[in-house]
Structure formats: C-alpha cells, structure tokens
Amino acid sequence: MSSSTGFVTSARSRVRRALEQWNPLDQAAMDASREQLELAVADMNRLVGLGSLSGDRELRAELLALQDDIAKTMRALDAVAAFYGGLAVRLGRTMSAYDASGREIGA
C-alpha cells in the first residue's frame, strides 16, 4: 500500500468513526467526532501536499470521493445542530451560542 493510499484509507476510516461517535447529547462524544473529522481533513491535506496526484487518475478520484464524504458528513452534523437550534427557538428558548469545539458559550 502506498503512503497516498494509506492517507485515503485512514481519512475514510476517520470520517466513518466521526459519524459513529457523534452524539449531540454527549460533549465527549461530540469532541471525539470533531477530532476525527479534523484528522480526516489533515490526512486529506497531507495527501494533496505529497504532490503525487498529477498522474494518478484513480488517486485523484479517491481524493474527490473523500472530499465529498467529508462535506456530506459535515452537512449532516450541521443540519442536526440547526434542527435543534430551530426547535429551541420554537419552544421559546433563546438560541445558545457555541464555539468551534461545540461547547456552549456563556454556559
């Protein structure tokens, strides 16, 4: 297995773990999920940084699929957060603000 393929495999595994671990009711699980996504993006960036994509169509296709997987995962997690935020407003509660790690600001 080339190092390029290893980065793709690692990143895909991290995206899968991010989805499996994510639980909006458990701060530790949300932190673990966020960390997995950050590591998946880092793997993807390392792959691009290797510069070996120019002549490898299959690897470029895998990279595009990986980017799509990460984007879909981020949209799914964002949609759930938006749903809960909207529900809170409908119930007459004020919207909470959160930092990048998912921790409530001012709590």
Using DSSP, how many helices (H) and how many strands (E) does the chain show?
Answer: 3, 0
| 63 in Cβ contact with 51 (< 8 Å) | no
CA distance 43 to 45: 5
Tally Cβ neighbours within 10 Å of residue 69: 17
pLDDT band at 13 (very low <50, low <70, confident <90, very high): very high
What integer pLDDT is reported at residue 107 of this predicted model? 54
What integer pLDDT is reported at residue 60 of this predicted model? 80
- Report the mean per-residue pLDDT for the chain: 80
CA distance 61 to 79: 27
pTM of the shown model: 0.68
